[in-house]
Chain A
Amino acid sequence: MTFAFEFSNVQFRYDGLSDCALCGLTVAIPPGEKIAVLGRNGSGKSTFFLHCNGLLRPQYGEIRFGGKPLSYARADLRQLRRRVGIVFQNPDDQLFSASVGQDISFGPLNLGFSSAETEERVRQAAELCGVTHLLDRPTHALSGGEKARVAMAGVLAMEPSVLLADELLSAIDPWARLDIFDILQTLYDRGTTILLATHDLSVVRYWATYVIVLQKGKIAFSGTPAQLLQNSSVLEATELSKIWWNVDMTVEE
Chain B
Amino acid sequence: MLIDRFAYGNRLRHTDPALKTAVSLAVLVLCLVLDTPAASLFALGWMSLLAVAVARVPVRVFAGILLGESTFLALATVGIAVTVSVAPPSAETLWRGHIGALWVFGTANGLSVAAHTVSRAIGATAAMNFLALTTPLVDLVALMRRLHVPDALIDITATVYRATFLLLDNFNQMYTAQQCRLGYISARRSMQSAALLGGNLFIKTFQKGKRLQLALDARGFEGTLRVLPAQYRPNPVLAVWGIIGVTAMLGIRILL
Binding site for B on A (CB under 8 A): 50, 53, 55, 74, 78, 81-82, 85-86, 88, 90, 92-94, 96-99, 101-103, 105-107, 109-111, 115, 118-119, 122, 136-141, 154-155, 158
Contact = CB atoms under 8 A, between A and B. Distances in A.
B225 A140 contact: no
A101 B8 CA distance: 14
Given A88-B211, A96-B215, A139-B162, 19 more contacts: A50-B214, A55-B218, A74-B222, A78-B220, A81-B218, A81-B220, A88-B215, A88-B218, A96-B216, A97-B138, A97-B158, A97-B225, A98-B136, A102-B227, A119-B228, A138-B8, A141-B5, A141-B8, A158-B219
A96 B159 contact: yes
A90 B162 CA distance: 15
Contacts of A115: 228
B167 to A, nearest CB: 11
Going nearest first, the 7 A-B pairs with the smallest beta carbon separation are: A110-B220, A102-B227, A98-B138, A105-B228, A93-B211, A94-B215, A107-B219
A51 B230 CA distance: 35
Nearest to A79: B220
B195 to A, nearest CB: 26
B4 interface: yes
B165 interface: yes
Interface of B: 4-5, 8, 136-138, 141, 158-159, 161-162, 165-166, 169, 208, 211-212, 214-222, 225-228, 230
B138 A109 contact: no
Contacts of A111: 220
Given A92-B166, A93-B208, A98 B220 contact: no
A102 B138 contact: yes
A99 B162 CA distance: 10
Contacts of A141: 4-5, 8
A45 to B, nearest CB: 15
B220 A137 contact: no
Contacts of A98: 136-138, 141, 158, 161-162
Nearest to A74: B222
A93 B208 CA distance: 7
A101 B228 CA distance: 8
Contacts of A90: 211
Given A55-B214, A96-B212, A158 B220 contact: yes
Contacts of B226: 106, 109-110
B219 A110 contact: yes
A49 B218 CA distance: 11
Contact of A93 (B141, B158, B212, B225): B212
A137 B230 CA distance: 12
Nearest to A84: B218
Contacts of A94: 212, 215
B40 to A, nearest CB: 32
Interface centre among A78, A103, A109 (most CB of B within 10 A): A109
A109 to B, nearest CB: 4
Contacts of B4: 138, 141
Contacts of B161: 98
10 contacts: A55-B217, A82-B220, A94-B212, A97-B162, A98-B138, A102-B230, A106-B226, A107-B220, A138-B138, A155-B218
Contacts of B220: 78, 81-82, 107, 110-111, 158
Interface centre among B141, B159, B219 (most CB of A within 10 A): B219
A48 to B, nearest CB: 14
Contacts of B208: 92-93
Contacts of A140: 162, 165, 169
A121 to B, nearest CB: 10
Contacts of B216: 96, 106
Contacts of A158: 219-220
B27 to A, nearest CB: 25
Contacts of A155: 218-219
A155 B217 CA distance: 12
